[in-house]
Amino acid sequence: MATEHNLSIPLNTLGQRILIIGNSCSGKSTLGAHLAASLNVPFVELDALNWEPNWVGLNDTNLDELMRRMQTAAAGDSGSMPLSTK
């Protein structure tokens, strides 16, 4: 059963974000880390929010918790934030 998730973050409070999308092992995390360092902003790697021990993904086991973690990460006050997922 599909669940609708409302992150409830006003868009005008998010600032600008950089989303990096690509295939596995294409350098997204490396690029994101370098961008964050160059821009002096936080870097959020979505895999770090999703994966639990033994490679159990919250996207499969606890979507509400994953959405909470993503909301917390996106609520930072930085003007830019590179985001990366594998």
Per domain, the residue ranges of the chain are 16-84
Mean pLDDT (whole number) for 47-59? 90
pLDDT higher for 5 or 47? 47
For residue 68, what are the CA distances in angstroms to 1, 5, 17, 37? 19, 10, 18, 25
d(CA 12, CA 47): 26
* DSSP string computed for 49-78: HHEEGGGEEHHHH-HHHHHHHHHHHHT---
pTM given for the model = 0.60
Write down the pLDDT at residue 57: 93
DSSP-based three-state secondary structure for 31: helix
3-state secondary structure of 83: strand
CB of 43 within 8 A of CB of 81? yes
Q: What is the pLDDT of residue 82?
A: 58
